[in-house]
């Protein structure tokens, strides 16, 4: 890790951040509200993403207390209007989290509902406690699951199962989530964070560059021209040709 960067982000209100030598641990920290995702948490997670983007490492994401995240803050959501919806406040954050360069692992216990479920879907891997419950009840509140569930969940579990969640209001307990491939493993209550750390231990044993490229390719963000350019940027031929160009220009 780079010593010049701060070990944390100052002023966090709804998220806590622990940075170790080879990973970040990000904890949604509103346990009194089942870690409901409010504006302060959105701001905090954007700030955390900025740090991780500047100095990439794998990320463990979890929730304080018994629950991962019980959804978006309904009091705030009720007051949002058309302009806030068009701004994609939650979706843009979750997309940013999904695009972090190195793997992310969600350690989920209790409720991961609504926006909380969508944030877990934005992670690369999910580990569930046996208490975990996933669901997207947004249509029952008169809105769409518009922060990633409509396009991530069909990819994760298939269109039919996704429609059962998004249209029929089905929730998945941990066993069902494991059976449909939404989670990698189910562990006893209270052991989900330790299990997620073990997954990250395996991740950090791999090449960071190989992981970064693999994630980009699997996610469809690994544009071939970027990868080709990355290879060429490291060649002696590129350096020699550009040096010769600069020398010719400087002689004029």
Of the candidates 6, 23, 24, the one whose C-alpha atom is nearest the C-alpha of residue 15 is: 24
Q: Give the containing element (helix H, strand E) for 183.
A: none
Catalytic residue among 32, 79, 118, 225: 118
CA-to-CA separations, 49 to 1, 204, 237, in angstroms, rounded: 16, 19, 36
Q: How many CB atoms lie within 10 A of CB 128?
A: 31
Main-chain dihedrals φ then ψ at residue 58, nearest 5 degrees:
-60, 155
Any catalytic annotation for residue 138? yes
CA-to-CA separations, 89 to 38, 80, 81, 143, 209, in angstroms, rounded: 10, 10, 12, 14, 31
Catalytic residue among 32, 130, 138, 191: 138
Contacts of 105 (CB under 8 A, 6+ apart): 58, 59, 60, 61, 123, 124, 125, 126, 127, 196, 199, 200, 203
Cα–Cα distance measured from residue 24 to residue 20, given in angstroms and rounded to the nearest whole number = 6
Any catalytic annotation for residue 247? no
- For residue 69, what are its two tokens? 């995240």
Cα–Cα distance measured from residue 120 to residue 60, given in angstroms and rounded to the nearest whole number = 11
Cα–Cα distance measured from residue 235 to residue 217, given in angstroms and rounded to the nearest whole number = 22
Catalytic residues: 118, 138
């Amino acid at each position: 890790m780079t010593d010049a960067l701060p070990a944390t982000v100052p002023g966090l209100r709804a998220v806590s951040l622990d940075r170790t030598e080879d990973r970040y641990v990000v904890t949604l920290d509103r346990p009194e509200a089942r870690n409901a995702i409010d504006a302060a948490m959105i701001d905090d997670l954007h700030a955390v993403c900025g740090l991780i983007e500047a100095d990439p490492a794998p990320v463990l994401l979890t929730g304080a207390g018994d629950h991962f995240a019980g959804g978006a803050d309904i009091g705030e959501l009720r007051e949002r209007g058309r302009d806030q919806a068009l701004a994609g406040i939650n979706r843009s954050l979750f997309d940013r989290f999904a695009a972090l360069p190195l793997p992310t692992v969600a350690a989920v216990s209790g409720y991961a509902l609504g926006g909380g479920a969508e944030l877990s879907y934005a992670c690369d891997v999910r580990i569930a406690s046996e208490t975990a419950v996933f669901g997207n009840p947004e249509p029952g509140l008169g809105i769409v699951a518009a922060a990633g569930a409509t396009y991530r969940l069909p990819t994760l579990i298939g269109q039919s199962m996704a429609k059962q969640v998004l249209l029929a209001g089905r929730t998945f307990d941990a066993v069902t989530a494991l059976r449909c491939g939404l989670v990698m493993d189910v562990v006893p209550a209270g052991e989900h964070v330790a299990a997620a750390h073990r997954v990250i231990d395996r991740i950090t044993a791999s090449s960071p560059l190989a992981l970064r490229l693999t994630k980009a390719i699997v996610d469809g963000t690994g544009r071939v021209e970027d990868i080709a350019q990355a290879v060429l940027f490291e060649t002696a031929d590129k350096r020699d040709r550009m040096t010769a160009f600069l020398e010719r220009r400087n002689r004029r």
